[in-house]
């Protein structure tokens, strides 16, 4: 297939040569850097590349060119290179036009000229754009191969684990792909071995667990120290923020995550209201940046391990892991977030992972190409998923129990949903039954006000309803409300709550009923359920850990 292409476009020959030279010196090993001196020539190049099946990773174009502006070129380039990242090179006077292009054509970034020195101004931007492209287009860059059945729950779990841990892979459908059948034959694999994961430099994995997969890929699955200053349970935005602040301030830190970093936010197709990102960013991108920070400051990340218990042991808190093992720390931060509630519809449980899915990753959307897709939910997560799925599906139907989308979804998002030509919003509607032979084939919908039933055909149902905290492992010693959310700070003193507080001081703001155990993010009672607030609570919890350690 050849190296992915990076195309530089500028009508000034010297400038075009300069940016191509700078790009080639940094990225020439893994990319073919090409150049064009006009919009028309660039479109000719892109046409030839498309006919040859060559992937285009990045198009960097000057804005002020005769005949065709950079924005006009980048808009037309979407037809030839739909997955390419778009970078506009512009002057300060054109920044208003560039910002408008973020919404109008999906511009990924604009960069003011000149870009000298490239180490400070050009390369950091291009590094991020090419990194995003590689994660979004794993089939173009991957050696890891996964063979499995399209409607297999375990195959879906493996693909989700890889996608959420930013491991690129190539997917082969064993029922449709002759190459998949050939590889399975070479491996001597039968139906019980699926999914089959072919690791380039390791043993072939047969129907692996997440822990098996993590170990084979070199991801850490156990802690290395006997005692830490702080153990963080859950690697969502709150947990990652806590890890960054704790490790950067000299605390020995370990973070334990049973699935993948990012939590629910990590699966979001777009987070558009996070401060400092005017075009928004994906949950995967935010997670990848956060994990890089965590690693940079020396915190350990233990993956694919479920936490099943908490034991106070004098001045130490022990976090018990499923199967075997434990982690001892002087303080614990609980940031396990929430899970989507199960859909209470007949047949839904049997078809989970076989057409019925809770949440959605960016890699799920392309599989719905040309099909009708149904989404249940009315919060921002459901809205962003609907917009992402509508890029591929022929129609997306958003099922909402309430009377108004605006009651539960941010205004900017509900307006985009209702204006989208391929998204249909059905209010006061719920799923009564899911049915199919081996995978989802039909849904029975009920109109809540009239009771009218309707049967529709679909292979795809994505569920984004409610929030159930994962807190059973904390036991009775950590006070929770009736829904399982962790009670902290002054709420521990609320009327009707029996609390035996053993210390002369009052509980700290995010401290639970067990001294030295803190809660941050969505798992905490009355939290805001927003990424920014979770990050803030994660940072604040570390400040309180310092106070606790200093007083104990």
The predicted structure's pLDDT at residue 113: 87
Same domain for 544 and 492? yes
Asked, for residue 51, whether it belongs to a domain, the answer is yes
Mean pLDDT across the chain: 92
Task: Tell me, yes or no, whether 115 and 156 share the same domain.
Answer: no
Same domain, 130 and 177: no
Q: Is the pLDDT of residue 140 over 70?
A: no
Q: What is the CA radius of gyration of the chain?
A: 25
If you search the block for the tokens 């919908």, which residue do you land on? 445
H-run or E-run covering 242: helix 237-248
| Residue 305: predicted pLDDT | 95
Taken in order 43, 47, 48, 53, the sign of the CA dihedral is: positive
User: Domain check: are 284 and 310 in the same one?
Assistant: yes
Residue 548 has which token pair? 């606790």
Q: Which domain holds residue 16?
A: 5-139
Give the span between the Cα atoms of 129 and 46, in whole angstroms.
19
**Mean pLDDT, range 98-122, rounded to an integer:** 89
Confidence of residue 266 (pLDDT cuts 50, 70, 90): confident
- Verify that 128 and 13 share a domain, yes or no: yes
Is the preceding peptide bond at 117 cis, omega within 30 degrees of 0?
yes
Answer yes or no: is 344 within a domain.
Answer: no
- Domain annotation covers residue 281: yes
Element containing residue 549 per DSSP (H, E) = helix 531-551
Q: What pLDDT, on a 0 to 100 scale, did the predictor assign at position 464?
A: 95
CA distance 268 to 388: 9
Read off φ and ψ for residue 519, nearest 5 degrees.
-130, 140
Last residue of one domain, picked from the residues 156, 187, 216: 216
CA 295 to CA 298: how far, in whole Å?
Answer: 5
pLDDT band, residue 136 (cuts 50/70/90): confident
Confidence of residue 59 (pLDDT cuts 50, 70, 90): very high
* pTM, entire model: 0.81
Who wins on pLDDT, 91 or 208? 208
Count of domains observed in the chain: 4
Most trustworthy range by pLDDT among 361-375, 446-460, 491-505: 446-460
Q: Per the domain annotation, does 492 fall within a domain?
A: yes
Q: Is residue 347 part of a domain?
A: no
For residue 438, name the pLDDT band (cuts at 50, 70, 90). Answer: very high
| pLDDT on residue 139 | 66
Q: Which residues pair with 74 in a beta bridge?
A: none
- Predicted local confidence at residue 186, as pLDDT: 82
Among 20-24, 208-212, 280-284, 546-550, the minimum mean pLDDT is found in 280-284
Among 165, 196, 216, identify where a domain stops: 216
Q: Verify that 455 and 383 share a domain, yes or no.
A: yes
pLDDT at 52 over 80: no
Domain boundary among 139, 161, 177: 139
Q: What is the CATH number of the domain that holds 389?
A: 3.50.50.60
Residue 279 and residue 107 in contact, taking contact as beta carbons nearer than 8 Å: yes
Least confident of 246-255, 304-313, 368-377, 462-471: 462-471
Same domain (yes/no): 241, 320: yes
Q: Which helix (H) or strand (E) holds 205?
A: strand 205-206
Instruction: Convert the pLDDT of each residue in 268-320 to its tens digit.
Output: 888 888 888 888 888 888 998 999 999 999 999 999 999 999 999 999 999 99
In a domain, 346, yes or no: no
Distance, in Å, from the CA atom of 214 to the CA atom of 449, rounded to the nearest integer, reads 48
Task: Tell me if 319 is assigned to some domain.
Answer: yes
Q: How far apart are CA 94 and CA 122, in angstroms?
A: 18
**Which domain CATH number covers 86?**
3.40.50.2300
In a domain, 351, yes or no: no
245 three-state secondary structure: helix
448: how many CB neighbours lie within 10 A of its CB? 13
pLDDT at 226 over 80: yes
CA 351/CA 328 separation, integer angstroms = 39
pLDDT band at 203, cuts 50/70/90?
A: confident
pLDDT for residue 1 is more than 60: no
């Amino acid at each position: 297939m050849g190296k992915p292409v990076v195309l530089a476009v500028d009508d000034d020959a010297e400038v075009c040569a300069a940016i191509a030279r700078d790009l080639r010196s940094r990225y020439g090993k893994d990319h073919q850097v090409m150049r064009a001196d006009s919009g028309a020539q660039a479109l000719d190049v892109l046409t030839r590349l498309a006919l040859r099946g060559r992937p285009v990773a990045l198009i960097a174009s000057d804005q002020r060119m005769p005949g065709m502006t950079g924005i006009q070129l980048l808009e037309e380039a979407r037809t030839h290179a739909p997955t390419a990242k778009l970078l506009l090179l512009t002057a300060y006077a054109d920044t208003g036009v560039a910002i408008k292009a973020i919404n109008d054509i999906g511009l990924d970034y604009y960069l003011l000229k000149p870009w000298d020195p490239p180490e400070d101004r050009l390369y950091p931007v291009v590094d991020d754009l090419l990194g995003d492209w590689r994660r979004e287009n794993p089939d173009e860059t991957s050696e890891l191969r996964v063979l499995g059945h399209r409607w297999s729950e375990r195959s879906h779990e493996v693909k989700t684990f890889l996608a959420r841990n930013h491991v690129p892979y190539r997917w082969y459908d064993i029922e449709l792909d002759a190459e998949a059948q050939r590889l399975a034959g070479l491996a001597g694999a039968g139906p019980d071995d699926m999914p089959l994961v072919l690791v380039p430099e390791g043993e072939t994995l047969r129907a692996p667990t997440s822990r098996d997969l993590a170990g084979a890929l070199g991801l850490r699955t156990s802690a290395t120290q006997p005692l830490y200053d702080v153990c963080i349970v859950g690697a969502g935005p709150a947990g990652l923020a806590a890890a960054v602040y704790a490790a950067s301030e000299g605390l020995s830190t370990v973070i334990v995550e049973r699935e993948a970093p990012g939590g629910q936010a990590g699966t979001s197709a777009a987070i558009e209201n996070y401060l400092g990102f005017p075009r928004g960013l994906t949950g995967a991108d935010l997670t990848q940046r956060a994990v890089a920070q965590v690693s940079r400051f020396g915190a350990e990340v233990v993956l694919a391990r479920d936490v099943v218990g908490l034991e106070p042991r004098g001045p130490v808190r022990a976090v018990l892991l499923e199967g075997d093992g434990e982690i001892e720390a002087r303080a614990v931060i609980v940031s396990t977030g929430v899970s989507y509630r199960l859909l209470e519809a007949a047949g839904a449980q049997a078809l989970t992972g076989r057409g019925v899915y809770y949440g959605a990753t960016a890699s799920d959307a392309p599989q719905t190409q040309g099909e009708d897709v149904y989404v249940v939910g009315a919060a921002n997560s459901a809205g962003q998923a609907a917009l992402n799925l509508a890029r591929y599906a022929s129609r997306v139907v958003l099922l909402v129990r309430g009377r108004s989308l605006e009651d539960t979804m941010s205004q900017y998002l509900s307006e985009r949903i209702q204006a989208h030509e391929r998204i249909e919003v059905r209010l006061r509607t719920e799923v009564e039954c899911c049915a199919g032979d081996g995978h989802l084939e039909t849904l029975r919908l009920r109109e809540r006000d009239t009771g009218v039933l309707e049967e529709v055909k679909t292979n795809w149902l994505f569920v984004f309803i409610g929030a159930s905290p994962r807190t059973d492992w904390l036991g009775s010693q950590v006070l929770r409300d009736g829904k399982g959310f962790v009670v902290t700070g002054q709420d521990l003193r609320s009327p009707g709550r029996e609390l035996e507080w053993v210390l002369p001081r009052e509980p700290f703001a995010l401290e639970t009923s067990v001294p030295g155990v803190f809660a941050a993010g969505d798992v905490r009672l009355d939290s805001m359920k927003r990424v920014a607030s979770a990050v803030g609570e994660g940072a604040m919890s570390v400040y309180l850990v310092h106070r606790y350690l200093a007083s104990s």
